[in-house]
Amino acid sequence: MADKTKPGPKDDDAANDGADPQKPIEAHVIGQFIKDLSFENPNIGRLLSNPGEAPAIKLEINVNAKRVQPELFESGIDFKAVASIADGTLYDLEITYAGLFQLKNIPEQALEPFLLINCPTLIFPFLRRLVADITREGGFPPLMLDPIDFAQLFMRRRQELAAQGAGKPN
């Protein structure tokens, strides 16, 4: 006979958000791909006539995610690099690199951080290689990106959104 005085599983938020607390989270990379790519090399003549000047490189990176199907999500990295010298822009690289991820048994409150931290971390090495190859094939030294702390990027974005929300009048 079962002891009815022992507490059973609690009916908490994790159990009600579609995730089973008894099952482990499952995450599978279904695929990864270049979603958008643009490389402009507008001033190659200037580079050939004055190759000695070191360019200033401006980098921008953003992450985004969306649900494609109930358990299928797309997580992408938007990356932009502009290299310029005093005479103008050497190159302008814009790329969106994304992955499709099948996620099961993940609590709803963990979904956004997982899609904006863990998923970009998995696909970043492939984006890094593409950026180096594209800049090299464009006639420049390869642009080697340092690793990116997507957790820090996520937290900074959260703080910016909170500050914007706090600054809005009611």
Sign of the C-alpha dihedral, residues 138, 140, 142, 148? negative
User: Concatenated DSSP letters for 47-97?
Assistant: HHH-TTSPPEEEEEEEEEEEEEETTEEEEEEEEEEEEEETTEEEEEEEEEE
The per-residue pLDDT for range 104-153, each reduced to its tens digit, is 998 989 999 999 999 999 999 999 999 999 999 998 889 999 999 999 99
- Extents of the domains making up the chain: 30-161
Token digits of residue 31: 């695929």
Q: What is the per-residue pLDDT for 58?
A: 97
The answer to whether residue 16 scores a pLDDT higher than 80 is: no
Tell me the pLDDT of the chain averaged across its residues: 85
Q: How far apart are CA 46 and CA 76, in angstroms?
A: 34
Q: What is the per-residue pLDDT for 20?
A: 57
Q: What is the per-residue pLDDT for 68?
A: 96
Higher pLDDT, 169 or 161: 161
Q: Mean pLDDT across the stretch 31-44?
A: 92
Q: What is the per-residue pLDDT for 48?
A: 61
pTM (2 decimals)?
0.79
30-161 CATH fold: Bacterial Protein-export protein SecB (3.10.420)
Q: Mean pLDDT across the stretch 80-108?
A: 92
The answer to whether residue 45 scores a pLDDT higher than 90 is: no
Distances (CA, A) of 39 to 1, 131, 162: 71, 10, 35
CB atoms within 10 A of CB 15: 14
Q: How far apart are CA 45 and CA 120, in angstroms?
A: 36
User: CA geometry: angle at 55 spanning 141 and 84, to 5°?
Assistant: 110
Axis-axis angle for helices 119-137, 150-167 (nearest 10): 110
pLDDT bucket at 8, cuts 50 / 70 / 90: very low
